[in-house]
Chains A and B, each alone.
Chain A
Amino acid sequence: MKIVFALFLAIFFVALAVNSGIANESGGESDAVEASVDTGETAEEEEKSVPFEVVEYRNFFGIDGRLLVWIVSQLHLMFAAFVLAVPLFVVIIEMIGAKTNQIKFDNLAYELTKLLSTAFATTAALGGLLAFALYGCYPGFMRYMTDVFHPYMYVYALCFFGEVFFLYAYYYSWNLLNKGMGKWVHIFLGVMLNVFGTTLMMLANSWATFMMAPAGIDMKTGAILSRSAAFFNFLWMPVNIHRIIANVAFGGFVVGAYAAVKFMGAKTEEDKAHYDWMGYIGNFIGLAAFIPLPFAGYYLGREIYSASPVMGNIMMGGAFSWTFIIQAILIGMLFVGGNYYLWNGMGRIKGAERYTPYIKYINIVIFFCFAVWLTPHNLPLSGEERALIGEQYHPFSKFFGVMAAKNAVVNLLILSTFFSFLLYKRANKGETKPFKSHGNTARVTMIITVGLTVMYLIWYAMGLKGQDLDAAVKPYLSPLLKCITIQIIALIGALFLTFANKGKLAQTLLFVVTVSISVVYFWYYGFVVMEKANMVLRFLSVTQVSIVISTLIVNTVIDVFLFKDAKEVGGIQWGKIPNRAQYALLLLCVAIVTLMGLMGFIRSGLRMNWHIYGYMQDKSAGAFTPSIAYMGWVVSLIVFLFLFMVAAVFWLAGLAGKKKSV
């Protein structure tokens, strides 16, 4: 029944997508060819003599070329994200295993690499399909892109070769290079795999970002002035940073879902324990990478605004603003799901009862933030409501819908999730050792950590002071400088408190100061700045983020030393976690895949009917900005296809292991 239902669903989605995506091939050339076919059999010879004409656009067997490229490129991107991210953390896991001599880390790294090798072939196949689809459906556009980027395309192919070589070398040499120096040679192979994988992604990113913010060409004639300028275009680095972080979050959550499925199907206690632990690691990686993701997203968004106010405007306030409400719901689900998994996980730790009363408060804070996070500035209103309210904006949306509020709540969400992590980490820890007992290494690490964060804050404050702003606006920077000063004092205070064996107090101090400044005060001050000096708003956001990040970093290091060699209370009973938590892991996977599909649509769609923004227009019949409903169908289809394909790939990867065990 399940298979029949799955098939029905697949056919249903495909039928919908095909129906709504059918478009005529554009350009007179294709019409001419079709007309010549209609002349009948007698004209066969004449038909042969029709001179060759260059086609600008083609469709794919009746399906709009744009739809095909959209689906294939998004699927390729998702698989590529997985094969890029997994090696990043596999090598780290392997290093932890080598350092601590714990075989379970090594086994986990090997299991993930096994998934990687099968997923890699699918990524490559989809990449090939994407290239054929692009050259087949958009020959005119691809001719130009090849002219601009052909030298980099060869480098891409070489990097691909390098990635394949190091992936298989890494995978097949696992047992061969398993001891002593050999292990570190093996880790080196893994590092090289990451170097090639990341370079590959960055090469492909330049083509996508060039389409959004073209550089190095004459915007009127298209003449190529500088290939390197086209490559290092304005949005290239923001997208690189955003994608690397997002890919790690994505990889972590996909691994978490894999572990959840395995956990629920496990027959033995040993397997249950293993997959429970694997799920925890997946969730940890996913959430750890997800925490800085909103900051990277903000940076990318800000740079899109800089590249083009038109693109920025439709992204946040225009046609794409409603997709950001969907994004808010998905991000809220990720925060709730991640925390929910941790809270359920505390049930398998004896001693966690000391901390469970905090859960209700964190839960209230998270859902409050979720509510503010998804409240749109411009609410959907009925005529009657609009008449009664009598204004453009309702008081709720007025204060919840703008960036000042969104920034405040997303920082609070991050701080709350981090707090959940701290509670989870210390659930199994009892009596701690004094900080002094950890020796000079602890002191030096603390001094370096606080020193670096303080130096960063000073560097940023100096930059703020040196801003060349209007005399009427400049005074509005001074509260930001004061807040940075308070945070620096708090960081130094936390250092001294930690040295005086009052680590918990130091952590509390940092939390209190950061929440007071970055959430409460900046929420209020954001409105003041918006009204009086909106130029300062962008500096306020960065100050807010910098303060939060400095607290996260210093609090993590304090926590490591606070609970180093602490007595265990009752141990963690791996495998004793309810299935509810595993469904949360599955939810996290579906949410991040949907988020990736949605954000891919937004990033690419911002160009509207341009292939290369401001230079080359898309004149094909499919060059329209999709409605939210149409986008919803296509993104859902992509999510379904990806999950189906990734499940098949994982199943295939598992077959080899099964045969061995028989």
Chain B
Amino acid sequence: MAKNKNSYSMIMVIVSVLIVFAIIKVIAPYVFMILLAKDHTMPTPSTLLLWYMVLAVLASLVYVSTSDLKWANFLSFILPAGDDKFKALFQKMMVIAFPLLVGWFVYSGTVPGTASPVELRIQHPTLLQEFEKLENPFANADEATKRKCIEEGKHLYQQNCRPCHGSKADGNGPFANAFRLRPINFTDPGTIATVVENFAFWRIKEGGPGLPAVSTPWDSAMPAWKDVLTDTQIWKIIMGEYVTAGVQSRQREEMEH
């Protein structure tokens, strides 16, 4: 079957997969530590590590089986051929290593440990129906009124939201470090910029306690502000908060009819 007795394609595949592993597991955490100016490494999440390694193995297997010749070369390392001592040793190593590897995966996946479980969190809980049709009362106001609302909103934001979300709305308020899940960084374009204003209104008004029971855990320490702030104040905060963060809310698209 194997035409080329000295094909090392299997070794190359194994080395390539190990290189990918080293990049994701070891190098990436240091790169992100430097890039983000942290004082500790930024670990690649275990879920992502697993997914990327599965893809790396799959990509290698796809490549080595794209032709009969490549496939034969790949297999030639473990199929009996010739008197190559190195190859014979490798065959034995493979026979021993593979069950050990599988055993290690099974063991590490089932052994009781102290690590907390991986949580499958949903980013945006479902907005309640009654909030869908709400509209910001100042949405159609004149420019002067809007500016006034934004200024009032910024002031209200600094009074009520700054301790957690920070004066720049970047999630770095003085209390931020006290939470297991840090307050949201609004300047990140993946956060409040991806939702309509109504969503922000609902979250501020109902807070963590108002989150739906499905798809927990939410881990949100956000209080329900409906007992403290009026609806008008909340709308103003929203206007001020978006300006402070330097992002815009998701705009509704026009319905064609």
Q: Which positions in A face B, CB cutoff 8 Å?
A: 215, 229, 234, 302, 305-310, 313-314, 317-319, 321-322, 336, 340, 343-344, 346-347, 356, 359-360, 363-364, 366-367, 370-371, 374-375, 377-398, 401-402, 473, 527, 530-535, 538, 578, 580, 608, 614, 625
Known A318-B124, A394-B48; 9 more pairs at CB < 8 Å = A309-B132, A310-B126, A344-B65, A344-B67, A374-B51, A385-B46, A396-B48, A535-B251, A625-B214
Q: Are A392 and B185 in contact (CB under 8 A)?
A: yes
Q: Which residues of A contact B246 (CB under 8 A)?
A: 531-532
Q: Bound state CA distance, A374 and B54, in angstroms? A: 12
Q: Are A313 and B248 in contact (CB under 8 A)?
A: no
Q: Which residues of B contact A380 (CB under 8 A)?
A: 45, 47, 118-121
Q: Which residues of A contact B35 (CB under 8 A)?
A: 395
Interface size class on chain B is: 35 or more
Q: Bound state CA distance, A473 and B248, in angstroms? A: 10
Q: Bound state CA distance, A396 and B51, in angstroms? A: 13
User: Which of B48, B63, B132 lies at the interface centre, i.e. has the most chain A CB atoms within 10 A of its CB?
Assistant: B48
Q: Are B66 and A306 in contact (CB under 8 A)?
A: no
| Nearest CB on A from B45, distance (A) | 5
Q: Are B116 and A383 in contact (CB under 8 A)?
A: yes
Given A234-B255, A401-B190, A402-B189, check contact A392 B182 (CB 8 Å). yes
Q: Which residues of A contact B66 (CB under 8 A)?
A: 340, 343-344, 346-347, 356, 359, 363
| Nearest CB on A from B243, distance (A) | 11
| Nearest CB on A from B242, distance (A) | 11
Q: Bound state CA distance, A331 and B81, in angstroms? A: 40
Q: Which residues of B contact A386 (CB under 8 A)?
A: 180-181
Q: Bound state CA distance, A212 and B221, in angstroms? A: 34
Q: Are B215 and A305 in contact (CB under 8 A)?
A: no
- For residue B44, CB closer than 8 A to chain A, the reply is yes
Q: Which residues of B contact A385 (CB under 8 A)?
A: 43, 45-46
Q: Bound state CA distance, A321 and B251, in angstroms? A: 20
Q: Are A322 and B122 in contact (CB under 8 A)?
A: yes
Given A359-B63, A363-B62, A391-B185, check contact A382 B126 (CB 8 Å). no
21 A-B residue pairings within 8 Å (CB atoms): A305-B253, A309-B199, A310-B127, A317-B122, A321-B124, A344-B65, A359-B63, A359-B66, A363-B59, A375-B48, A378-B122, A378-B123, A382-B46, A385-B43, A391-B182, A391-B185, A392-B182, A394-B42, A534-B189, A534-B194, A534-B251
- For residue B117, CB closer than 8 A to chain A, the reply is yes
Q: Which residues of B contact A535 (CB under 8 A)?
A: 248, 251
| Nearest CB on B from A191, distance (A) | 30
Give the nearest-CB partner of A303 in chain B: B253
Main secondary structure of the interface of A (DSSP, over half): helix
- For residue B94, CB closer than 8 A to chain A, the reply is no
Q: Which residues of A contact B254 (CB under 8 A)?
A: 306
Main secondary structure of the interface of B (DSSP, over half): loop
User: Which of A346, A384, A473, A608 lies at the interface centre, i.e. has the most chain B CB atoms within 10 A of its CB?
Assistant: A384
Q: Bound state CA distance, A320 and B124, in angstroms? A: 10
| Nearest CB on A from B60, distance (A) | 9
Give the nearest-CB partner of B123 in chain A: A378
- For residue B250, CB closer than 8 A to chain A, the reply is yes
Q: Are A531 and B251 in contact (CB under 8 A)?
A: no
Q: Which residues of A contact B115 (CB under 8 A)?
A: 382-384
Q: Bound state CA distance, A375 and B50, in angstroms? A: 12
Give the nearest-CB partner of B193 in chain A: A534
Q: Bound state CA distance, A394 and B32, in angstroms? A: 10
Give the nearest-CB partner of A578 in chain B: B68
Q: Bound state CA distance, A394 and B194, in angstroms? A: 18
Given A319-B215, A336-B62, A531-B193, check contact A608 B126 (CB 8 Å). yes
Q: Which residues of B contact A384 (CB under 8 A)?
A: 115-116
Q: Are B129 and A360 in contact (CB under 8 A)?
A: no
Given A309-B250, A382-B116, check contact A395 B190 (CB 8 Å). no
Q: Are A314 and B117 in contact (CB under 8 A)?
A: no
Give the nearest-CB partner of A613 in chain B: B129
Q: Are B255 and A307 in contact (CB under 8 A)?
A: yes
Q: Are B189 and A379 in contact (CB under 8 A)?
A: no
Q: Are A313 and B58 in contact (CB under 8 A)?
A: no
Q: Which residues of B contact A388 (CB under 8 A)?
A: 40-43
Q: Which residues of A contact B11 (CB under 8 A)?
A: none
Q: Which residues of B contact A309 (CB under 8 A)?
A: 127, 132, 196, 198-199, 250, 252
Q: Bound state CA distance, A539 and B156, in angstroms? A: 34
Q: Bound state CA distance, A396 and B214, in angstroms? A: 27
Q: Are B67 and A347 in contact (CB under 8 A)?
A: yes
Q: Are B51 and A302 in contact (CB under 8 A)?
A: no
- For residue B191, CB closer than 8 A to chain A, the reply is yes
| Nearest CB on B from A617, distance (A) | 10
Q: Are A392 and B256 in contact (CB under 8 A)?
A: no
- For residue B247, CB closer than 8 A to chain A, the reply is yes
Binary per-residue interface labels of chain B (216-257) against chain A in the complex, 1 for a CB within 8 Å, 0 otherwise: 000000000000000000000000000000111011111111
Among A340, A379, A397, A533, the residue within 8 A (CB) of B62 is A340
| Nearest CB on B from A486, distance (A) | 26
Q: Which residues of A contact B129 (CB under 8 A)?
A: 310, 614
Q: Which residues of A contact B45 (CB under 8 A)?
A: 379-382, 385, 389, 394, 396
Give the nearest-CB partner of B128 in chain A: A310
- For residue B139, CB closer than 8 A to chain A, the reply is no
